[in-house]
């Protein structure tokens, strides 16, 4: 099976949420090393998934959503993305313990 490499687009919502998480870990928890590890793990997981992002299970929401959402679990966080053409649009980074139904 041939792999489809998708280009990655980070939406402003994802960038904002990622910056908030990294700020919290770095300055509130005072653990810069943990923030750097988390950033590396998130970026590596997204890059790895971009090689064939469509073959993963769709996120099933209880509410009606306009787009198909996929998710990537990274530690205590969930990355959400959608696909359009050959672009993987990374849209959200949410703490996994939160109620995801109303977050995306």
Phi, psi (rounded to 5 degrees) for 62? -80, -15
Among 71, 48, 46, smallest CA distance to 59 is for 71
Quick one: 7-96 is in which CATH superfamily?
RelE-like (3.30.2310.20)
Q: pLDDT tens digits for 10-55?
A: 999 999 999 999 999 999 999 999 999 999 999 999 999 999 999 8
Whole-model pTM: value is 0.87
Among 67, 11, 91, 78, smallest CA distance to 38 is for 78
Give the per-residue pLDDT at 55. 87
């Amino acid at each position: 099976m041939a792999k489809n490499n998708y280009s990655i687009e980070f939406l402003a919502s994802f960038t904002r949420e990622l910056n908030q998480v990294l700020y919290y870990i770095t300055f509130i928890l005072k653990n810069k090393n943990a923030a750097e590890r988390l950033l590396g793990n998130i970026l590596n997981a997204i890059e790895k998934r971009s090689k064939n992002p469509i073959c993963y299970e769709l996120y099933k929401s209880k509410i009606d959503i306009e787009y198909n959402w996929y998710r990537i679990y990274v530690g205590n966080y969930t990355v959400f993305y959608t696909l359009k053409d050959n672009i993987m649009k990374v849209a959200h980074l949410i703490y996994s313990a939160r109620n995801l139904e109303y977050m995306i």
